Each structure stands twice: as C-alpha cells, then as structure tokens.
Amino acid sequence: MKIDITRAGFLTSVQDLGRLGFRQFGVSVGGALDSHALRVANLLVGNDESAAGLEITLGGLRLRFVDDRIVAWCGGGFDVRLGSTSVAAGHAALVRAGQELMFNQPKVGCRCWLGISGEIDVPIVLGSRSTDLRTNFGGFDGRALRDGDTLPLGRNSERAKTLINTLGEEKIAHWKPPHDWSSPAQREPALRFIRGVDWNRFDDVAIQRFTNEEFSVTAEADRMGARLDGPELKRGDNVTGPAAASSMDLISEAVVPGTIQVPPGGKPIVLLGDCQTIGGYPKIAHVISVDLPIAAQLRVGDRVRFHEVSLTEAHQLLAERERDLAEFRVGIKLHVR
Amino acid sequence: MEIAPLGDSALIVRVRNQFEDAPEQTSNEVLRALRRIADARIPGVIELAPAYTTVAVFFDPLRVMNDAARADHVIASLTQKIREAFSRGGRRKQRDTSARLVEIPVCYEAEFALDLEHVSRQSQIDPIEVIDLHCAAQYRVSCIGFTPGFPFLSGLHKRLATRRRSIPRKEIPAGSVAIAGAQTGIYPMKSPGGWNIIGRTPLHLFDPRKDPPALLRPGDRVRFRAIKREEFDRAAN
C-alpha cells in the first residue's frame, strides 16, 4: 500500500483538485494546475475524479511499484516508459509489483499529472490533499518529493481491480480520452481570454499589442504564474508621479488563477493555481477556464498569443467540456465490466 | 455598488471606490456586504473573500448553469441574486460589525526590530515613542492576503507612515511585525518582504491544522502590547 520514489525529478508534488473555502484567510486554491487533466487521469484508473495524484514538472521522475496498480497520465509531451514499453498520454496501463515507471523530459509543455489507482493517501489538510509549496503544508510533509521518499497509497477500487484483470494480457488500454484532454500542450500556445476589470485603463496601443502580438515566456515561471516578455503594455490613465511609483497604485483586490495582471514595467504575468489571493496590479484580462490546461504548460521560450472571447462563449465551452466528460465517464465504464 | 466579472468563475462586488478616506466605514460596508451575500446562500457560490473595498464571489459556473441559468445568463443571474440579497438585507436588523478585539503581544527589542532605527530616522520620532505610538492605536484587519494569515491592518498613526524598503528582504522571520505606508502587518511565516520590521510576536498567525487556520479575520480589531524578551521566550517556548 505504498510506492517508492526512486528519483523525485525536477519538481514533483502531490496534488488534488485544490483547496477551496480558505481564500478569505489568504490560502491559495493550488491543486493540479490542470485540474481537468487530473480528473481524466483519475477516471482512467478507476479513482474518484477528485483523488490525489502527482504533478510532475519537467520529468526526471522514477517510481517503483510494490503492488499491482493501474496508472494513467495526461499533460505535456512527456516520454513515459514502463520498462522498455512506452506509455502514451491518456492510456491506462497496468503496472506490476516491482516494475518501474519513468518520466523523461517533455518535448513540448512542462507538466503532467499522474493518476494511480487507490490514490495517494496523504492526510487531508484544510479540505485537500494538495501540497501548498509556498507555505509548506498539505500533500506529503508539505513539500516537493525527494529521492527515496515512500508515499502511502489507498486500496484499489473495485473498478481498478477489474481493470487489473482486464489489462492482465495487453497491459495498456486501447481506449483513450480526446487528444486535447490528454495532451493539451501546444507548440505555439494561444490562450483565449475575457476582459479584466482594468481593461479600460490601458491605452489603445496596449490593447492592440495585447490582442495582436506575440509574448514570450520568461524563466520566471512557476506554479504561481508565468511572467511574459514582449511589447510593453502601457496604461492609458496617465498615472505619473508618486502614485505610479508606489507599488500599490490600485487598491488590492482578489485575483484568480488565469488572471493576467500587468505590473508597472508593462510586462504581463499569467497567474496560475498557486497565485496569491489578492493583488494590486491592473488586471487586463483573464484566461478562460477551459484554456487553463494550456496555460499550465507554458515554459520558458514559448511564444504565446491571446484571443478575446465573450463570457458567454467561455461558459458555453466549459459546459460542453463537462458534457463530453460525462459521456467519457459512461464510455469508460463500458470498458471496465 | 459595482459588480464585475473576475474571469469566468468569480465576480468582484465593489462596495466603495476609496478606502483611505474612510477605512472604518469602508470596512463596515464590506463586511455587511459579505454577510448579506453569504446569508443569501446563492446556488453555485463556492466561497467569498473580502478585501479593502470589495467582496470577491467565487462560483462554479456549471452549478449556476444547472440552476436554470443559460450560458449567456450566468453573470446576469448571479448579479441579480446578489442585488436581491442587498435589497432584502436592508430591512433586516443590523448585526454588530465591531467584531472581536484581539491583543497581539510584541517584543520590540533590538534583536527583532530590524528597521526600528530606520523608521525612527524617517519619521523623526524617538524609537521609544515609535513603539508607544504603535501600541497606542487600535487597528482593524482590512484584508488577509499576501501569504496565508497575513493581516493588512489599517489605523496606523500618520506620523509612523514609512515607505517600503527599496530592496525587499529575501527572508523575513515568522512573527515579524512591520509597517509600510499607512499600514501595519504581521508576517505569519518566513517569507520575502519589503516592509519595515519593528518587532516580533510569539503568536502563530497561521496554523493549517486549525480551522479557521488564521488567528485573525477581516474586520477584527487589533491592539499591540509591548512585551519583554522573557515573556516572548516563555510564549514562544
């Protein structure tokens, strides 16, 4: 009922769907930066969608299994191997006791999420098993995994047991989710956005640049957000003098994962799951929920573009994806009887 | 009152446009708004968080849509329900907004008060008097943020207003009590920061094993009490 971390890799942490209900106390939502990917991976291995799995950044992870488990992963373009067999994104695979699963560096994107049947059974802290890496609590000892760690696993569900029998021969399932769920990373990422409350504070040139030009992801990119470089986005409300120089020229208010804020230097930051709960920089836009999986893959050097959509469209797209997920859930059950 | 979308899964309810001109009144209005929205138990709303002049309303758009709103009507439907909560609340008896008074013991001795000299020089007030002024005032939590449990406190004596450090410190010890601009605050955990540190409290401002995890909440009133090193050590043990 455990799993050994032979090599922890660049940055691997236990994450579930995040920590809700504590933002009034300054606690970030956190969780899998692409929560949809984790939900899908969990469905594929017979877990509850909200089960805790691993978020793997840039690979280098090696896991040794001590009992039979079903695994599945979704996310960036990683090369994942089970012995000499390649395990493609979105395919459930049977791992036998003693086997090692290996995550090599991704060719595109930077993160992926691994579901393991029985889920990672770390204690629930403030309603979640996610690791808060900024404040160091939750997950496994409140920290990223290290070489030699042993993680507790829960029991295989009945569905997982059935899967273990079903996959006994072929080892890797032939069914899989839609490609953009299992592999959302894009070589030239485009993010759809809706306007932020401070959209009108930016001048026409800034708006033109934001919607038409390309931005590149800098090395300052982590679970809190990705700082971009590119054409300067100037504010049009001409704040000069001491007010502009102060770091709080707007009154701080809530920010959310997906918020695109613009500090005084004019270079935008795309906020991700571990972002602070409040911020004082103008919010030019917000990445829509269904595109957060793409935002979660931004890595240094990527060139990103922004396309405006309406709020209605954002909500329609989300509802469609949820309908497709409901169908997928039913489809999966047909394979596991 | 302005209600605006904050992405596709949250709304900002802006109660006032200014804070500094009337911190007490603004905090009261924000807390009243928070309570009314909470009491309305609007389907699909996940959580609320107040900050200075606003209340953030976080919701699950899918649940709002299940609750009879079409995709093109999610924001309009929520906005309407929030506005209804306000018009209903108007007739209800106002509950006390003065909340709790929390006393925070602070050791202002040199070892902990890394920037007391600097504050003293900038304000041209003797360090002893800086401490007296800091302890004399009653503060109010206008917001929790930056790190979990970090309280932004309004009510700092005008003469103590001090600019942030031009180069932030990479690591500020947990419990550090600091001032910046018109505000004072407490660093709950070791973190980077640019505020001027004038003392340290032995209290834990954030403990994830507790619910609620933060010692302070928005609206709380706060006083600082100067303590000697021995008392700090006893409390911190």
Tell me which of A181, A205, A235 is where a domain ends: A181
DSSP 8-state code for residue A158: H
Q: Let me know whether A158 and A41 are in one domain.
A: yes
CA pair distance A11, A286, nearest whole angstrom: 26
- Is a pLDDT exceeding 80 seen at residue B30? yes
Q: For residue A239, which amino acid is it?
A: V
- Is a pLDDT exceeding 90 seen at residue A161? yes
For A67-88, how does the pLDDT look when each residue is reduced to its tens digit (9 = 90+)? 999 999 999 999 999 999 999 9
- Is a pLDDT exceeding 60 seen at residue A238? no
Instruction: Give the residue among A67, A17, A20 at the shortest CA–CA distance from A43.
Output: A17
DSSP A74-143: EESS-EEEETTEE--TT--EEE-TT-EEEEEPPSS-SEEEEEETT-B-PPPBTTB---BTTTTBSTTTTS
Closest chain A C-alpha to B167 CA, distance in angstroms: 12
Task: Please report residues of B whose CB lies closer than 8 A to that of A138.
Answer: 208
Residue A286: closest C-alpha in chain B: B7
What is the ipTM for the molecules in this complex?
0.94
Instruction: Give the global pTM.
Output: 0.94
- With CB atoms and an 8 Å threshold, state whether A253 touches B213: no
The pLDDT-based confidence of A30 (bands split at 50, 70, 90) is very high
For B126-174, how does the pLDDT look when each residue is reduced to its tens digit (9 = 90+)? 999 999 999 999 999 999 999 999 999 999 999 999 999 889 999 999 9
Q: Let me know whether A109 and A90 are in one domain.
A: yes
Tell me which of A157, A181, A205 is where a domain ends: A181
Domain coverage including residue A212: 190-316
Q: What is the number of residues in chain A?
A: 337
Asked if residue A8 belongs to a domain, the reply is yes
- Both tokens assigned to B51: 């900050």
β-strand partners of B231: none
Asked if residue A321 belongs to a domain, the reply is no
Task: Please report residues of B whose CB lies closer than 8 A to that of A22.
Answer: 47, 148, 212-213
Q: Let me know whether A209 and A295 are in one domain.
A: yes
Q: How are beta strands A303-308 and B10-14 bridged, if at all?
A: unpaired
Domains in chain B: ranges and CATH: 2-89 (3.30.1360.40), 101-236 (2.40.100.10)
Q: Let me know whether A156 and A196 are in one domain.
A: no
- The predicted pLDDT at position B99 comes to 74
Tell me which of A181, A215, A235 is where a domain ends: A181
For A52-65, how does the pLDDT look when each residue is reduced to its tens digit (9 = 90+)? 999 999 999 999 99
Chain A interface disruption, residue of B2, B3, B6, most A CBs within 10 A: B6
A326 touches chain B (CB under 8 A): no
- With CB atoms and an 8 Å threshold, state whether A252 touches B143: yes
Asked if residue A23 belongs to a domain, the reply is yes
CA pair distance A91, A87, nearest whole angstrom: 7
Asked if residue A337 belongs to a domain, the reply is no
Choose between A327 and A335: higher pLDDT: A327
Asked if residue A302 belongs to a domain, the reply is yes
- With CB atoms and an 8 Å threshold, state whether B10 touches A311: no
Q: Let me know whether A175 and A194 are in one domain.
A: no
Asked if residue A165 belongs to a domain, the reply is yes
Nearest to A26 among B145, B164, B211 (CB): B145
For A287-334, how does the pLDDT look when each residue is reduced to its tens digit (9 = 90+)? 999 999 999 999 999 999 999 999 999 999 999 999 999 999 999 988
- Is a pLDDT exceeding 90 seen at residue A169? no
Asked if residue A335 belongs to a domain, the reply is no
Q: Which residue has the tokens 């050590």?
A: B233
Percent of chain A with pLDDT over 90: 90
Please check whether residue A136 is in contact with residue A142, taking contact to mean a CB–CB distance below 8 angstroms: yes
Q: Let me know whether A214 and A296 are in one domain.
A: yes
Residue A260: closest C-alpha in chain B: B7
Closest chain A C-alpha to B32 CA, distance in angstroms: 15
Q: Let me know whether A166 and A206 are in one domain.
A: no
Q: Let me know whether A226 and A144 are in one domain.
A: no
Chain B interface disruption, residue of A20, A29, A253, most B CBs within 10 A: A253
Q: Let me know whether A144 and A286 are in one domain.
A: no
Encode B72-105: b = buried (16+ Cβ within 10 Å), e = exposed. Answer: eebbebbbebbeebbeebeeeeeeeeeeeebebb
Instruction: Give the residue among B162, B176, B173 at the shortest CA–CA distance from B127.
Output: B162
A124 touches chain B (CB under 8 A): no
- Is a pLDDT exceeding 50 seen at residue A113? yes
Q: Let me know whether A161 and A255 are in one domain.
A: no
Q: Let me know whether A144 and A284 are in one domain.
A: no
CATH number for position A300: 2.40.100.10
- With CB atoms and an 8 Å threshold, state whether B62 touches A322: yes
The A2-8 sheet, strands edge to edge: A85-86, A79-82, A100-104, A61-65, A2-8, A150-152
A123 touches chain B (CB under 8 A): no
Across chain A, mean pLDDT equals 94
Percent of chain B with pLDDT over 70: 96
Number of domains chain A contains: 2
- With CB atoms and an 8 Å threshold, state whether A252 touches B212: no
CA pair distance B195, B167, nearest whole angstrom: 10
Asked if residue A138 belongs to a domain, the reply is yes
Read off the pLDDT of each residue in B5-27 and give the average, rounded to a whole number.
Answer: 95
The pLDDT-based confidence of A170 (bands split at 50, 70, 90) is confident
Q: Let me know whether A215 and A301 are in one domain.
A: yes
Query: Between vectors from CA A328 to CA A327 and to CA A334, what angle results, nearest 5°?
Result: 95
